[in-house]
Amino acid sequence: MGDASGKDPAAAVPVRGLPERGRVLCRGFIESVTYAPAGEVAAFTAIVTDHDAPPPKARTAVQARPAAQAGQSGARRKGPAVAADRLRVIWLGRRRIPGVKAGLELRLEGMVTVRDGLPTMFNPRYEILSRQEEQ
């Protein structure tokens, strides 16, 4: 059976290469998952990153401008910084997704938008590309 999306699987972009908005096909590794408590709305959340992403210490920090510069006329105001090395994936209406856990490699297809400063994809199509060794 052929790929329903009609896209070459090798054309999947890394998480670092995602645009701020639009339909994308990407691949990455699940860094962490979050399960919603029984009393909250059902949503299963995963954070996806590239396998070779730098550790948290190596990430560059955004420096704040001094107060004197902030009030200058003609100064451009920038939007919130986007964490380009991570992607938040949210499956609404699901408390868990069988087989999806930390360390797993996924290929995802869906619409990306920025929410709370983090690229986010809601209810994407997904394919599990690797499985962890059970020990």
Q: Judge whether residue 82 has pLDDT over 60.
A: no
- Note if the pTM is more than 0.85: no
* Residue 26, strand partner residues: 13, 108
Q: What are phi and psi of 20, to 5 degrees?
A: -70, -35
> By the 8 A CB rule, do 82 and 119 touch?
yes
The whole-number average pLDDT for the span 48-59 is 62
Handedness of CA 54, 13, 109, 20 (dihedral sign): positive
Q: Look at residue 126 and give its three-state secondary structure.
A: strand
Rounded mean pLDDT of 61-75?
43
pLDDT at 51: 76
Answer whether residue 67 shows pLDDT above 50.
no
Residue 58 binned pLDDT confidence (cut-offs 50, 70, 90): very low
Say how far residue 36 (Cα) sits from the centre of its chain: 18
Mean pLDDT within 83-90: 87
